[in-house]
Structure 1
């Protein structure tokens, strides 16, 4: 299908790293299928997808640990397809961190420099610079077992950066951290990448991690790239049902275009409603589409909302309180359940909730909040 209609297309990127028509097969199974990606110099780029989508295989091809069945890898204008890993201007930070338990933090960071044309004092200075960068200079003489998980992660990052690679590959870098530490470390990694100007390529299955870290995201599915764009582009303007469903929560139903005359109207039998939508390009009356609305775009109230909002009446079937917001599952007359998020902006005994279980409510959303997808 055509790319989603976005207000700004992420196309003005240099080609410092070029993945050109790369396919990787293991026997009869193609783990990566004809993938092409251009990554800019100094960009923080994320490969996002579920287990088995091919993202780690693609990262290993970039690193030189796997040879593509076809296609090529170009870095800074040089073909690296057949260049061994140790001769590539690349370093890789593994998910396990792979620190040497018998070495101090400083020696772990300096370890990769021992074969470089540097004196012992130069290696020590470089290691200290990297520890300053990750704010661990005070812990230089500790052993890895004396550090927290977040500190070990930063030691591994400092070691990966010590050789000043042109490209740093990070394989699920935050997977071993708890939620709060992971959220904090995401910003640390982004800040370090900005300070160094090194091109980062991150593999992750965590959509929030990718959206927080990356300048651009490639969403992968079964060895292919489904969409490349900024976090806001892939979230607000998904180009297919897979991306819409994979990135964040969404309500999605089958619909049929009813009218296109200044405004577009779509019949959605499962909602028992005809919705007005904001987009109408490349559509035809009678065309079948997927109709999607994100839960946070839906307002929930006890009173009927004013026109021209799309509005549907229902009953609160389930409710989850998360503190800052609440998730409502509202059952419609058709039996379908719609999800709606509401920010708990008031402090009271009910947690700021606008409705309770069993309450009759109205759900409403702007025409511009409706996403139309053709597959």
Structure 2
């Protein structure tokens, strides 16, 4: 059974002079897990990654890997490898010599080293490119060379700093699944740092969302998207529209809210700790709202007028003005083929918006 506390980060902080880059972070990562550190620039995710690698020492707190305290252990003695965003390949070397470079200080025979390189080439499907120089292969292939070099030493922990940032969108999407497949075959624990929420949601078993050096929520992709713990996570993961609301009470296991911008009451899924009379935020994911030109039979319904729309092919974005003047954004999938037929509504059309109580996110923070 995999160790649920394979990597333990306990109360770790890091200061650079008066600036605190990481604030009292506590996390546990299971063996064989893909764990993502997700956040914007300057949130502390790369500093935390560098502390795991041993390039920085924590100002406070402890890091344990496979039961061993990493305090004072230099990078070259840790069972950890870091794959940099730039890949850091040697352009004058071939693919196979780049992979072999990471093994130069390993105690192994020349034959064993060659076998390990062949194993890694096969793992990342680059055997036909073994003799090519690094500059003679594509960006996606260079990424796989860097991954093979990192895995060649059989690290217990692999740290990936924005591993797909240099790739174009289509190649990035393809490589995400390749990374997942390679990780599953090797069983190595991956820690991925990224600012790309879609990348984190696709790759990771669990995500830690960071802001200003702090972890704001830890959970599976489904948990952080569908059940955000606070306004920051709700707005950072995906797209939302928010409204001020007041809790009127509970009814049938649901919260009843007064939403001034809607001019009506709203039913939402219950949230523990929320009290009657409390001021809260109602958050709605754009794709959870249904737009129609006839009033639907639904728990929550509000009327509005289409102010703007944008056609993206697979879906359209509608900006709806409510009678209160508030603006609601809605994503609707274009399931039908055609020009006008693909649109649910047009500019200046009067429409109805509806959503289920389970789609209504109530945030007290």
TM-score, reference length from structure 2? 0.97
Aligned residue among 22, 27, 35 for 1:32:
22
Partner of 1:196: 186
Displacement after TM superposition at 1:283 (Å): 2.4
Q: Does 1:250 align with 2:240?
A: yes
Q: Does 1:217 align with 2:179?
A: no
- Residues 24-63 of structure 1 correspond to what in structure 2 (within 5 A)? 24-63=14-53
Q: Which residue of 1 aligns with 2:125?
A: 135
Alpha-carbon deviations, 1:113-138, whole Å to 9, x = none? 01111122221211111111111110
Q: 2:249 & 2:58 partners in 1: Cα distance?
A: 48
Q: Name the TM-score, length of structure 1 as normaliser.
A: 0.95
Distance 1:213 1:13 in 2: 20
Partner residue, 1:110: 100
Tell me the equivalent position of 2:228: 238
Q: Does 1:92 align with 2:73?
A: no
Does the aligned pair in 2 maintain the 1:13–1:38 contact within 8 Å? Answer: no
Per mean C-alpha deviation after superposition, the further-off stretch among 260-269 and 295-304 is 260-269
Residue 337 of structure 1: aligned partner? 327
Query: 3-state SS of the aligned residue for 2:235?
Result: helix
Task: Check if 1:177 corresponds to 2:172.
Answer: no
Range that drifts further, 313-322 or 273-282 = 273-282
Cα distance between partner residues in 2 of 1:146 and 1:357:
51
Mapping of residues 192-341 of structure 1, within 5 Å: 192-262=182-252, 263-307=254-298, 309-341=299-331
Tell me the distance in 2 between the aligned counterparts of 1:341 and 1:166.
43
Query: 1:225, 1:27 → 2: CA distance?
Result: 21
| 1:80 aligned residue | 70
Q: What is the SS of the residue equivalent to 1:21? A: strand
Query: Residues 273, 78 of structure 1: CA spacing in aligned structure 2 closer, same or farther, 3 A cutoff?
Result: same
How far apart are 1:252 and its partner, in Å? Answer: 1.0
Q: Note the C-alpha offset of 1:278.
A: 2.1
Structure 1 SS opposite 2:294: coil
CA-atom RMSD in angstroms: 1.2
Name the stretch that deviates more: 340-349 or 223-232: 340-349
Note the C-alpha offset of 1:277. Answer: 1.1
- CA separation in 2, counterparts of 1:354 and 1:13? 50
Counterpart of 1:357? 347
How far the C-alpha of 1:280 sits from its partner, in A, is 4.8
Deviation sequence 1:171-208 (CA, Å, 0-9, x none): 00000011111011011101100110000000000000
Post-superposition offset of 1:351: 5.8
Q: Look up the match of 1:3.
A: none
2:138 aligns to what?
Answer: 148
CA distance in 2, matches of 1:317, 1:234: 31
For 2:245 and 2:72, how far apart are their aligned partners in 1? 49
Could you tell me whether the CA contact under 8 Å between 1:323 and 1:351 is conserved in 2? Answer: no
State the SS of the aligned residue for 1:130: helix
Per-residue deviation, 1:269: 1.3
Structure 1 position 46, deviation (Å): 0.3
Match of 1:164 among 143, 146, 154: 154
Paired residue secondary structure (2:342): coil
Unpaired runs of at least 5, structure 2: none
Runs (4+) off by over 6 Å: none
Q: CA deviation at 1:13?
A: 7.0
Distance (whole Å) between structure 2 residues aligned to residue 257 and residue 20 of structure 1 = 37
1:302-332 CA distance string (max 9 Å, x none): 000114x211111111111121111111111
- Verify the 8 A CA contact 2:261 2:322 in the aligned structure 1: no
